[in-house]
Structure formats: C-alpha cells, structure tokens
Structure 1
Amino acid sequence: MSSGLYRAVGLMSGTSMDGIDAALIETDGEAHVRPLGFLSVPYGETTRGRLRASIERALGKDAPGPDAVIDETAAEITALHAGAVRALLADDAAVDVIGFHGQTVAHRPERGWTWQIGDGAALAKRLRITVVADFRAADVAAGGQGAPLLPVYHRALASGLEGPVAVLNLGGVGNITFLGADETMIAFDTGPGNALIDDWVRGTQGIGYDAGGALAASGVVHEEVVARMADLDWFALPPPKSLDRHAFSLNDVSGLSAADGAATLTAFTAETVRLALPHLPAWPARLLVTGGGRHNPTLMRMLAERTGIPSDPVETVGWRGDAMEAEGFAYMAVRRLQGLPISFPGTTGVPSPTVGGVVFRP
C-alpha cells in the first residue's frame, strides 16, 4: 500500500458454479479503481458434483453448522482458490489484501442466516496475505438481505458516468442496481438469471450452459408457462429482496422439448427483469448488463424486447464484465480494512450502512 492505495485480489465463485474468477486491482476503497489482472479457473465436474451435494445438504439444514461433506468441500474450495491466487500473481506478491467470497451453499435471510463455504483463516495462512471473508453475515445479522453486495462497487465504477445508471447482473441469480444522479442507490434481486437455463440444458443436453443462446433461439417460447412462472407474489414485493439460487424449479417446463424449454426459461429470465423495473425510482434509459448472461444474444434480445430498453454489455462503457464480481470483492476487502460500509438500506434493506467481512491475518 502507498499513498492510500491498496493492491487487492478479489475471488468469486458464483451460483453458476462454473469456476473461480480472480482479479487484481488497485483502489483506495472509494472512487479510484485501476484493474491490473484477471483470470478464470474452471471447476472440474467432480468439484461441481461435490458442490451440488453440499448445496443439497445445506438447503436441508436449519442453520449453518459442522457437516463432514460440506466441510470437506470447503477445504477443497479453499485450496483451489489459493491456487487461483498463485496463478494470478505469479512472481508478484505485492498484495495488501484478498477478498474471498467463498461459495454460497444456502442463502436464507428470512431465517436470519446465509452460508458461504471456504476457510478464510486457512487461505490467509497458505498465502501469507491478509484475507477478508464472510462478507454477507454482518448484513444478515443486522436485518438485511445480505445481497446484492456489488452496488457499492457499481457506484465506484459509475462515478464518471452521467446518471441515472442501471446495472443488471445476470449470473446464476439476477440483480439490478439503480444509481441516481442524486446519490440514490437502490438494488435488489430480480429473479433467476442463468440458473434455470443452465440446469435445463445440463439435464436435457448434458452440457453446462446454452452456448450463444443457440438452443433457446431454435425453440418456441410458451408464453402461458412464462406467465405461470411469473405469477408469484415475490415479484410484486417492493425491494429490498433477495433470492436463493434454488428458489425456482423446472417443474413448469418439464413437458416441453429441449429447445422450447430453453426458449421459455430464457424468456422468463427476461420477464423477471421487466417485472423489476417498476420498483426503480426512475425508468432507466438503458441497461448495462454484466454477468454471464450478457454473452447470450438470445437473452439480450429478449431483454430489449420485453423491457423496451436498450440492453448493452458493460464493456460498452469500458468495464470488465467477466472480472466485475471478483473486482468488487477486492474493492470491498479494502473498504473493510478502512472500516467503510459495503451494504446500505437501499441495497440490502439493512437498517443502517454496515461494514461487512471478517479479517484473517496470516
């Protein structure tokens, strides 16, 4: 660290469970952000299988706690994250802090808990670098939703853009951030992002995702199914609100062909974004889209059609969409070291701005 600037690594393994994103940035924890490096390390199918088994076990529990299967997976995840950091840094060890999100296995803010596996203390010891982990727990304990957390980083990135700005993140779960010209910051989950589409394609095609949206593009959208799936009180609830990745199922599309199911689920994701827009303080002029969903042209087309708003990848304003979540946790780790909040009443519903994350020294 020099002159108030930190070099920070951020680690993210999202709800899509496709692998680890690792990003290196320079930041002051406020408006200054300079990207320095990024890589992505895919999980093998064995690891994904262990994660799915751990998630199934976690969802059946009343609270986080010791579990042999989950604990073993957590140790594996920690080792893989350590390897990702080493690969990112190579011989450059001049890093002040690592932001380690870990892997969410269950998110139950309505029950007062959220569970991300991964051992921050072990990671700090392995790498001999200070680690900040467990970013969501303080917010949930204070009465917040624990998600989404990226809005504070979106605000830093958007400091040079004319407002209002709307950032739509389409990972496993979708969430939207509204940044007003008057410092208004509103954020909430919109519904499933890629999760249902990925699950459907894995089950019907034996592959991880609908590459290029090709399967969905070849199918027919069953609008009655979209309407049935969207007919949930949750979509009408005002923010703040958040979802677990497994809050929705594939039951409504179970009788459709592979192509029609993909098309219908893709349309449903776009429809949930349309349902989210009336909850924003103002109608955005465009959506800046990040997350894996922006690589799906069928989903991007449906977004624009259903919302009536141009939908552009965040790269159009010079941001790194693939790296953004990992960068965000590097940024939040620096804020934790400075005692600055990462969640706010308008983003998670927490009663007051809250400092999140637990610091582990090597």
Structure 2
Amino acid sequence: MTKIIRTAIGLMSGTSMDGIDIALLRTDGENVVERGPSMGNQYEPAFRNRLKQALVDARDLTDRTARPGDLAAVERNLTLRHAVALSDFLYRHDVPPAKIDVIGFHGQTVLHRPDEALTVQLGDGALLAQVTGIPVVYDMRANDMVHGGQGAPLIPIYHAALAASAGHALPTVFVNIGGISNLTFIGRNGEIVAYDSGPGNTLIDQWVEMHTGAAYDHGGEIASTGQVLPILADRYLGNSFFSSNQRRSLDRNDFRPPEIGEAGLADGARTLAHVTAAAIVKSARHLPEPPARYVVCGGGRLNHVIMRDLSEFARSQNAAVIAAEEAGLDGDAMEAEAWAYLAVRSLRGLPLTFPGTTGVTAPVTGGILGMPEKSGLLRAD
C-alpha cells in the first residue's frame, strides 16, 4: 500500500513567549520524515507584554473556551500574527500556499492545570484556516485530558520518528529545554516514556527580565559570571515535584523566580541555570534505564552554562550530552516540526499521546480540524 506523504507546516509559540517558530515537514505521520526549511519570528516587546498579561487574565479560568477581558483580542491578534509570519515564511522559501496540505497550530498556552484536566491555548484555528485558505489542525492537547492524560508532552512520538528515520542508536533520550524542560526516552524496542523534568528557561528568563529588561540570558553570559547559591538551589530542587514518584505536566507558574533581593543578578542566573540542569538529571531517575546519551534541543541548549552543568552531572552517570545539531537535527525547529507531524497524524486519526507519555488511559488521537470556506488571503483560487 502506497503511503500518502503530506506537506505540513508547524507553528509553535512556546512557554518562553518569545515568538513564533515555523517549520515545513513532509511526512506520512509515521516513519517518513523529510525536514524542510524553518524560521523564527520574534514578538516585539509590546506584544510580549500583552501575552504576559494574558497569563494573569487567564489565572481564574474554569472554562477553557472563555475569553474574558483582553483575552479575546489577544487571541485574534496572536492568530493574525501567525498568518502574517506564515505568509512571510512561504514567500521567503518560494513555497506556494497551495502546496501546503495542513497547518499544525499550537497557539499560546496561558493556563495549564493537568490536575483539573484544564488547559487553555490562545489561538483561533478556524480563523487561521480562513485567512490562509489552508486546513488547520489545532487544540491538540484537550482530547488527551478528556481521556485522563496530563495534556503534555505531545512531542515524544515525533522524537521517536526522528530517532528511527536518522538511525540513532537506542536507547536515546531527547531533552527539550524550553520554558519547561521535558524528557523523551526511546527504548530498544520502541518503548516511549516521556514527562516534564522541571523548569527550563522560564525562571532564568523571568529573573533576567526583572533585573535588566532583556528577554533572556544570551548564551548564559550573565550566569557565567555568577556563583551557585546552595540554599536557593536546594529550595528549588527540594520541591515535591522531584521527590514524588508520580510524573505530572508543569505549568509555567508552578515554579516562580526568586524575589528581588534574594540574590544578585549574576548569582541568581547562575543558580537557576544549575537548577535547570540538575532537574533534568534528577528527573531521569524515573526513566526505564539510565540513559547513555542526552540529545538536547530547545533554546536552553544555547545557554553554555546549562549545557556545561548538564554535561558534568550526566558524566557522573556515565552519560554523554550533545546538542541536537551534533545528531544532525535542528534544535530550534524541532517543536514546530513536531506540530506539523502531529497535524498529519491527527488527519489520519493516529494517536498523538500514549500512556507512557502523558498518562492517558489508552493511546488517543486529538486535535480539531478547521477547514477554510473560501480560498483565503494566501491561496489563490
């Protein structure tokens, strides 16, 4: 039977809220993975501030469809920004919109409470389909929660496809250091175990922004001049999240940055980088077997202090740490690629999540399909 290969675009706006990642992928939603071009599109500070306010406005939501206050306007603005970014991406890479079969649209998570089966992503998939003239799969987390899952992480099935297509030696552990860090273990027989491992960049980003107004610690430059404060580090690493045997998905606000005055800028950044790395290795104890190699993707791999600490901690367990690029992958585009891959799986009704990844009761698919009723602004009739 001939496999149908679809051309998909993934659009990802992560917990760091720094912009939109876009990637093109040709895939059957299973073992065929042909990675195409990718691009990052940064939010300007004013809109990023609106997204941060959206986190505050969403705190008391109990209905995931409600959009009180400015949330409705932010959602529409966010969606249209994705459409503009996509148009620019297609133009730059000379890809006709008519060649795109589907868009995988993540949106912006503003609330994630897995214990309450509640997750909220801003992003109007139906509007995006109308504007682009391209089918859009969106809201891919909710069905997992309906079936008892944590709603995250969703990327592990794509990690498994990457490992298979690239011929990586198994077992392999992928580490995604975004706002929140997560691990994906792929065993020798294709077993997938995945879960959030702790705070990623979010604490460092918030700390640096509080002190300097900058969005993040570029390359770990600030952290590299500081020292680890043991009392502060132990406070984070002593959190019950690490001692519990039950894995759960994290919200951006589950860990908060230190208060002003608890540390200087450099020492705070250095300590939080240490916490990010230590949390990954500390959480690895829940894996089926100790990993021999960590493949690191996400923005955190560009922080040299985090990577140095992670390498030192992993070495004590006889494990190696490499950036995604050393494995022939794109550490910046991987999440966007995953959303393209998941969109194709959703179209085919294939599972997106599994008991070993989100704790869902059985493998389930997910996502809502938004179909354009007209050609859209990007696609000619």
SS of corresponding position for 1:37 = strand
Moved more, 289-298 or 222-231: 222-231
- What secondary structure, in the 3-state scheme, does the structure 1 residue paired with 2:356 have? helix
In the other structure, the counterpart of 1:190 is 197
Cα deviation, residue 123, structure 1: 0.3
**Other structure's SS at 1:345 match:** coil
- Once the two structures are TM-superposed, the CA of residue 252 in structure 1 deviates from its matched residue by 6.2
Alignment match, 1:79 = 80
Look up the equivalent residue of 1:123 and give its one-letter code. Answer: L
The 5 A counterparts of 1:58-97 are 58-64=58-64, 65-90=66-91, 91-93=95-97, 94-97=99-102
Q: What is the TM-score with the length of structure 2 in the denominator?
A: 0.92
How far the C-alpha of 1:314 sits from its partner, in A, is: 0.8
Deviation at 1:340, TM superposition (A): 0.2
Contact 1:113 1:141 in 2 (8 A): no
CA–CA separation in structure 1 for the residues paired with 2:226 and 2:158: 37
| Aligned length, in residue pairs | 361
Regions of 4+ moved over 6 Å: none
User: CA 1:290–1:47 in structure 2 vs 1: closer, same or farther (change >3 Å)?
Assistant: same
* Candidates 324, 327, 330, aligned match of 1:314: 324
Does structure 2 conserve the Cα–Cα contact (< 8 Å) formed by 1:220 and 1:260? Answer: yes
> Which residue does the alignment assign to 1:147?
152
**Paired-residue identity, %:** 44
Which residue type is aligned with residue 134 of structure 1? D
Residue 342 (1) aligns with residue 352 (2):
yes
Q: 1:176 touches 1:187 (CA, 8 Å); kept in 2?
A: yes
Aligned position for 1:108? 113
Is the CA contact 1:229–1:252 (under 8 Å) kept in the aligned structure 2? no
- 1:83 Cα deviation from its structure 2 partner: 0.8
1:178-327 alignment to 2 at 5 Å? 178-251=185-258, 254-308=261-315, 309-327=319-337
Letter in 2 for 1:332: L
Q: Which amino acid aligns with 2:96?
A: D
Question: How far does the alpha carbon of each residue in 1:184-217 deviate from its partner, in whole angstroms, 9 at most, with x for none?
Answer: 1000001110000000000112111111101111
Q: Classify the secondary structure of the residue corresponding to 1:255.
A: coil
5+ long unaligned stretches in structure 1: none
Q: Which digits, 9 at most, give the CA deviation of each residue in 1:73-101, with x for residues without a partner?
A: 00000000001111121251211000000
- Measured on the aligned residues, the alpha-carbon RMSD in Å equals 1.3
Task: State TM-score, norm by structure 1.
Answer: 0.97
Letter in 2 for 1:85: L
Alignment pair present for 1:128 and 2:148: no
Amino acid at match of 1:236: S
Question: Alpha carbons of 1:285 and 1:3: their partners in 2 closer, same or farther (altered >3 Å)?
Answer: closer
Secondary structure at the counterpart of residue 84 of structure 2? helix
**For 1:273-303, what per-residue CA distance to the aligned partner results, in whole angstroms no more than 9, with x for missing partners?**
1211110001111110000000111110011
Instruction: Give the gaps of 5 or more residues in structure 2.
Output: 373-381
Between 261-270 and 86-95, the greater mean CA deviation after superposition: 86-95
Distance 1:349 1:9, change over 3 A: same
How far did 1:60 drift?
A: 2.6
